[in-house]
Amino acid sequence: CNPNNPTGTFETVKDIENFVSQVPADTLVLVDEAYIDFVSEPNATAMDLTKKYPNIVVMRTFSKAYGLANFRVGYAVFSKEVAEQVQKVRLPYNVNSIAQVAATAAFKDQKFVDDVVKNNAEQRTQLEAFFDEQGIKHYQSQANFIFFEYQDADKLADYLLHNGYLIRTGLRPNWLRITVGTADDNQNIEQLIKEFSK
Ligand SMILES: *Cc1c(COP(=O)(O)O)cnc(C)c1O
């Protein structure tokens, strides 16, 4: 998964290629790029590797930066060899017609995606700066969430929930994953974390 969920960390195409080149040719490597749009580095996608390595599959979803969660639509890029096998097992009509129309419209609306990605990058930088200021340990994120360490993580999550913010617990003891929100939400979150930490 690149960027990874829940850490938000990112591997370069070079590192992924280095890995794939050492994997036996009859072993399939899936690269899940659900969060790839949020990466601030240029040339982040491993898509081109599918031309060189028939055993690599790159998967994408419209559920994240494109805002179509619950439409159940995404796509994957892979070699003809893999396509023949996928064709045998995929369900008929696996992407319904409404989802297809939504995905096509979303794909054409790159301005929306650009705005989402830009806002996310700004707010992610802001939230990371806040965590640094507070001495809260976190991974450097290239996604739309930040994974951070907090003593009493579950109690903090409860406090945030009672104030209207649901964040992800239970991934690792004393670690939480928070989604990067709007500027207003992030300001509220920062205020709430400060109050709770007192
Ligand atoms: C959201 C997500 C997906 C894809 O989600 P769908 O809604 O099923 O398209 C895939 N991998 C990861 C890690 C995700 O977070």
Give the CATH number for residue 159: 3.90.1150.10
146 shares a domain with 92:
no
pLDDT confidence band for 132 (50 / 70 / 90): very high
- The parent domain of residue 150 ranges over 111-197
pLDDT (0 to 100) of residue 163: 98
Domain boundary, last residue among 108, 131, 152: 108
Verify whether ligand 1 is closer than 6 Å to residue 30 (CB atom).
no
139 shares a domain with 93:
no
CA distances from 111 to 67, 88, 100, 184, 195 (A): 13, 37, 19, 22, 37
**Is residue 78 assigned to a domain?**
yes
The enclosing domain of 48 has a CATH number of: 3.40.640.10
Task: Give the Å distance between the CA of 108 and the centre of ligand 1.
Answer: 21
How far is it, in rounded angstroms, from Cα 35 to Cα 159?
28
| 192-197 average pLDDT score | 97
Verify whether ligand 1 is closer than 6 Å to residue 69 (CB atom).
yes
Burial environment of residue 81 by CB neighbours within 10 A (0 to 12, 13 to 18, 19 or more):
exposed
Residue entry with tokens 């996928």: 86
Give the strand pairing for 175-179 and 168-172: antiparallel
**Cβ neighbour number for residue 30 with a 10 Å cutoff:** 12
Verify whether ligand 1 is closer than 6 Å to residue 7 (CB atom).
no
**Is residue 2 assigned to a domain?**
no
- Whose alpha carbon is nearest atom 9 of ligand 1? 61
Question: Is the Cβ–Cβ distance between 167 and 196 less than 8 Å?
Answer: no
**Is residue 3 assigned to a domain?**
no
Ligand 1 atom closest to Cα of residue 59: 10
Phi, psi of 45 (to 5 degrees): -75, 145
Q: Which residue among 1, 4, 5 has the greatest number of ligand 1 atoms within 8 angstroms of its CB, and so is best to mutate?
A: 5
Task: Give the Å distance between the CA of 133 and the centre of ligand 1.
Answer: 31
Say whether 77 sits in a helix, a strand or coil. Answer: strand
Residues in the chain, how many? 198
CA distances from 166 to 8, 14, 82, 163 (A): 18, 36, 39, 9
> What residues contact 136, with CB distance under 8 A and at least 6 apart?
148, 149, 150, 193
Token pair listed for 136: 């809260």
98 shares a domain with 124:
no
Verify whether ligand 1 is closer than 6 Å to residue 3 (CB atom).
no
Tens digit of pLDDT for each residue in 156-168?
A: 999 999 999 999 9
100 shares a domain with 153:
no
Token pair listed for 37: 């749009």
Q: How many CA atoms lie within 13 A of 108 on its CB side?
A: 5
Q: What's the pTM value of the predicted model, to 2 decimals?
A: 0.94
Verify whether ligand 1 is closer than 6 Å to residue 5 (CB atom).
yes
Domain boundary, last residue among 61, 76, 108: 108
Tens digit of pLDDT for each residue in 12-33?
A: 999 999 999 999 999 999 999 9
Token pair listed for 61: 């979803």
Total domains, the chain: 2
Verify whether ligand 1 is closer than 6 Å to residue 103 (CB atom).
no
Task: Give the Å distance between the CA of 135 and the centre of ligand 1.
Answer: 31
Residue entry with tokens 């617990």: 169
pLDDT (0 to 100) of residue 11: 98
Q: Mean pLDDT score of the chain, rounded to an integer? A: 97
Question: Is the Cβ–Cβ distance between 151 and 132 less than 8 Å?
Answer: no
pLDDT (0 to 100) of residue 176: 98
